[in-house]
Structure 1
């Protein structure tokens, strides 16, 4: 049976990776296929992407709490799962700063969004946080 930290981890992971994947792979291609003007598509990007990034930061914060609950800080920060979460938080913050400075049209911004989604997909194949060992 799964414990609380593992369930919370899976829910948060599904929320932010699913939101980014559906936005990039379903929502935006559908709007492009409909034939919306490029200026309208850029406005949709400008409105939706910051919200997705904030949602991602909140879900990553929940995942950090789930990791913290299952292991001490120095233990989970050195494994791949912890590093991916920390790098995803840093990338989200970088993208939010770039969004506020209106630098999201740069080619590196697309690469950063792809990197963020890749980190999420890599986190999907990582093991779930284990239940903390309780001493009697």
Structure 2
């Protein structure tokens, strides 16, 4: 495997796995332990924002790998490029809404879930490899 393919897989594992792990495993487990709801909200807000930032950075790295291997046109012609651009837009929107309109909890949850499902669709796509 090339360095680009390894970087692609590592970045994808970090952000997609992190999003799914937090939302569907860690937070429900903490709730089951009986932590105070306000504490759970604070943990969700802090870790959620950190993971969204990580997702944006990792998606940016994946875009760099995709453009290096398959050229710039792959960003809008290839499903992987389209998903990565969607991830960047949704992540940016999430962070802006979190900063300027923090009471929009449903929008933040919707954005988070859209990111998680974009990541899931991205996992199902093949890893970009340089053709000989």
CA contact (8 A) 1:69 1:132 kept: no
Question: Which residues of structure 1 form unaligned runs of 5+?
Answer: none
Q: In the TM superposition, what whole-angstrom CA distance separates every residue of 1:24-46 from its partner, at most 9, and x where no partner exists?
A: 11110111001111111111122
Question: 1:26 maps to which residue?
Answer: 25
CA contact (8 A) 2:67 2:75 kept: yes
CA RMSD of aligned residues (A): 1.4
Q: Which has the larger radius of gyration?
A: 1
What is the DSSP-based 3-state SS (H/G/I as helix, E as strand, rest coil) of the residue aligned with 1:77? helix
Deviation of 1:105 after TM superposition, in Å, equals 4.2
Distance 1:79 1:104 in 2: 36
Q: State the structure with bigger RCO (CA 8 A, min sep 6), 1 or 2.
A: 1
Question: 2:81 maps to which residue?
Answer: 82
Report the TM-score, using the length of structure 2 for normalisation: 0.92
Q: In the TM superposition, what whole-angstrom CA distance separates every residue of 1:12-70 from its partner, at most 9, and x where no partner exists?
A: 00010111111011110111001111111111122111111111111111101110110
Q: In the TM superposition, what whole-angstrom CA distance separates every residue of 1:65-114 from its partner, at most 9, and x where no partner exists?
A: 11011021113421111000000010000000011124364322212111
Deviation of 1:118 after TM superposition, in Å, equals 0.3
Question: 2:106 maps to which residue?
Answer: 107
Question: 1:93 maps to which residue?
Answer: 92
Question: 1:7 maps to which residue?
Answer: 6
Higher relative helix content: 2
CA contact (8 A) 2:63 2:75 kept: no
CA contact (8 A) 1:81 1:126 kept: yes
The runs of 4+ residues in structure 1 deviating greater than 2 Å are 102-106
State the number of aligned residues. 132
